[in-house]
């Protein structure tokens, strides 16, 4: 039976894990990781990617997840969209993860390290401080037109989940526009990172959890609508 995850709590408690226990993946672990992969849905009109576990161990993780993916803005967004859903599903099972641009397997834009979180060591604390990983831009900055006063609380929760999305070097290169009580628009940088798709995933799983359904549509390059 499909697990119902509390994505809102997962998004609020997730952060990049850069320290891992020494742990070789068992067959049960691999099955659990592939179950998380199977829980992800693609962006409308795009394919489900063929995610694989590579036996590579950057930062002492137990393996890395990656998929081959084209480099168009839509394909990159789809990579981030599926990848972040996997990250959240893995977190629900106690796995730590970190998106990792520094490791790119052939045909993939970046990877996701996976492993059992360990006590943080100096190097990862430094990395987190350098990337200012604990910080996020304010909602005021991200919603230039402001959030209308009497808008549904659901809009605030969806926008907050989008705000908390991880991004390469914590750039958070996106902005939001509130269209109505049941729709927001997210605009983001396209380029070499899948960040925009990651942000869309956070918004979509939150809207889906609260409203029971969510539709993500591409309006133009780098601009997507999330409606519920």
Ligand X SMILES: Cc1cc2nc3c(=O)[nH]c(=O)nc-3n(C[C@H](O)[C@H](O)[C@H](O)COP(=O)(O)O)c2cc1C
Residue ranges in contact with ligand X by CB under 6 A: 15-16, 18, 98-102, 110, 127, 131, 133, 166-170, 193-195, 198
- Torsion (CA) 153, 164, 162, 211 in degrees, nearest 10: -50
Q: Which is nearer to ligand X, 131 or 157 (CB)?
A: 131
Report in angstroms how near the CB of residue 201 gets to ligand X at its nearest. Answer: 11
The least CB distance from residue 12 to ligand X, in Å, is 11
Q: Choose between 165 and 178: whose C-beta lies nearer to ligand X.
A: 165
Q: Taking the CA atoms of the chain, what radius of gyration do you get in angstroms?
A: 17
Please identify, using beta-carbon distances, which residue of 32 and 170 lies nearer to ligand X: 170
Cβ of residue 111: shortest distance to ligand X, in angstroms? 9
Q: Closer to ligand X at the Cβ: 127 or 227?
A: 127
| Assigned token pair, 47 | 């394919």
Check if the beta carbon of residue 166 is closer than 8 Å to that of residue 131.
no
**Is-contact 16 99, C-beta < 8 A?**
yes
Residue 133: strand, helix, or coil: coil
Cβ nearer to ligand X, comparing 25 with 87: 87
Q: How many Å from the N-terminal Cα to the C-terminal Cα in the chain? A: 24
Q: Please give the Cα distance from 209 to 160 (Å, whole number).
A: 14
Q: Give the span between the Cα atoms of 24 and 46, in whole angstroms.
A: 33
By the 8 A CB rule, do 228 and 154 touch? yes
CB of 94 to ligand X, least distance (A): 17
Least separation, in Å, of the C-beta of 133 and ligand X?
3
């Amino acid at each position: 039976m499909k697990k119902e995850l509390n994505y809102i709590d997962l998004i609020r408690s997730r952060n990049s894990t850069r320290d891992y226990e020494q742990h070789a993946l068992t067959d049960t672990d691999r099955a659990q990781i592939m179950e998380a992969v199977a829980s992800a849905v693609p962006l409308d009109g795009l394919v489900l990617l063929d995610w694989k576990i590579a036996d590579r161990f950057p930062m002492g993780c137990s393996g890395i997840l990656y998929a081959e993916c084209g480099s168009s803005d839509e394909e990159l967004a789809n990579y981030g969209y599926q990848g972040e859903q996997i990250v959240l599903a893995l977190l629900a099972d106690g796995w730590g993860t970190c998106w990792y641009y520094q490791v790119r397997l052939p045909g993939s834009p970046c990877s996701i390290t996976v492993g059992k979180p360990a006590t943080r060591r100096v190097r990862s604390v430094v990395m987190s401080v350098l990337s200012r990983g604990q910080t996020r831009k304010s909602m005021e900055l991200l919603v230039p037109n402001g959030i209308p006063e009497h808008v549904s609380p659901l809009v605030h929760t969806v926008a907050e989940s989008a705000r908390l999305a991880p991004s390469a070097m914590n750039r958070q290169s996106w902005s939001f526009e509130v269209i109505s009580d049941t729709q927001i628009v997210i605009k983001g940088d396209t380029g070499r990172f899948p960040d925009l798709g990651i942000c869309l995933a956070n918004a979509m799983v939150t809207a889906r959890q609260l409203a029971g359904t969510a539709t993500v549509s591409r309006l133009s390059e780098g601009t997507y609508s999330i409606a519920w």
